[in-house]
Amino acid sequence: MRALAPAAPDDPEEADRLEAGRKLFAQPCTFVTGVAALSQLPAMRLPEVAFAGRSNVGKSSLINALTGRRQLARTSQTPGRTQQINLFDLGGRLTLVDLPGYGYAQAPKPAVEAWQRLVRAYLRGRASLRRTCVLIDARHGLKDNDRAFMAMLAETAVAFQLVLTKADLLRRSELDDVVGLLGSELERQLGAHPHPIVTSAQTGLGIDRLRAELAAFAAAPGETRT
């Protein structure tokens, strides 16, 4: 089991993918809407990529790093700050979807349960959803609520990509150990991309690789589709 490695300098195909990702995420990215009920979701106009993970795993920081904008998605040290589904339009070609965190949150239990129902309904009913990035804090690895979420993705036939966050807080040998431990679990998960992407919103590690992965799902310029 390995993380996606940097492309070889002489690999033109991979270089093209990285450049396509760079160009896509250099486009304007704007907040579309926040959704607190399924009925509030906008029409499925563009392909969508969702970001999910435990509360305070770094979803907003990663979205900001991908788009090169410090305050596009609000960040907080308080678990559970994202209390709705937030949608962002990336250059009229891709919709980025910031899902409420699962697991511990500093919010009333009924509110947390409502967010969870909303996320399940979104995953089951959103035909425009092309990929879900499941973020895992590299310092802690997979937890039971991560496994429960991945099982739900398998039930709803939603493909997902595991993304390790906060990798700058570990030594390389520690990162290798974490990636190695994920191997057997991902092999048993339906719909899982076989190789996690190791990232750091602080240093930029892996950001170009993730941009390239997500750019493959974007609509062509001027095209809208579902």
What pLDDT, on a 0 to 100 scale, did the predictor assign at position 138? Answer: 95
Q: What is the pTM of this model?
A: 0.87
In a domain? residue 165:
yes
Is there a domain that residue 6 lies in? no
Domain-located, residue 95: no
Identify whether 149 is part of a domain: yes
Number of Cβ within 10 Å of residue 70's Cβ equals: 10
- For residues 109 and 47, give the distance between their C-alpha atoms in angstroms, rounded to a whole number: 32
User: What's the CA gap between 13 and 160, in Å, rounded?
Assistant: 23
DSSP 167: G
Residue 107: burial class (beta carbons within 10 Å; 0-12, 13-18, 19+): middle
**Residue 47 within any structural domain of the chain:** yes
Per the listing, tokens 């979420």 go with 149
pLDDT for the residue 104:
58
The DSSP call for residue 100 is: P
Domain for residue 5, yes or no?
A: no
Q: What is the pLDDT along the chain (226 residues), one digit of tens a residue?
A: 445 445 555 688 899 999 999 999 999 999 999 998 889 999 999 999 999 999 889 998 999 999 998 778 664 444 444 578 999 999 999 999 999 888 655 566 766 677 778 888 999 989 999 999 999 999 999 999 899 899 889 888 899 999 999 999 999 999 999 998 887 788 888 888 888 999 999 999 999 999 999 999 999 987 765 4
Q: For residue 86, give every residue at least 6 positions away whose Cβ sits within 8 Å of its Cβ, in sequence order, or none.
A: 31, 33, 34, 35, 73, 97, 98
The number of distinct structural domains making up the chain is 1
The number of beta carbons lying within 10 Å of the beta carbon of residue 36 is 13
Bridge pairing between strands 160-165 and 129-137: parallel
pLDDT value of position 152: 87
Q: What is the pLDDT of residue 182?
A: 84
Q: Is residue 225 part of a domain?
A: no
Contacts of residue 77, Cβ cutoff 8 Å, sequence gap at least 6: 56
Q: Is residue 31 part of a domain?
A: yes
Contact of 87 with 33, CB cutoff 8 Å: yes
CB 107 within 8 A of CB 80: yes
> What residue has token string 């602080």?
202
**114: CATH:** 3.40.50.300
**Which tokens sit at 89?**
């339009």
- Go through the chain and tell me how many residues it has: 226
In angstroms, the CA 38 to CA 40 distance is: 5
Concatenated DSSP letters of 68-98: T-TTSS---SSTT---SEEEEEETTTEEEEE
Bridge partners for 192 per DSSP: 160
Q: How far apart are CA 11 and CA 85, in angstroms?
A: 38
Domain span including residue 174? 13-87+101-215
- What is the distance between the alpha carbons of residues 128 and 75, in angstroms, rounded to a whole number? 26
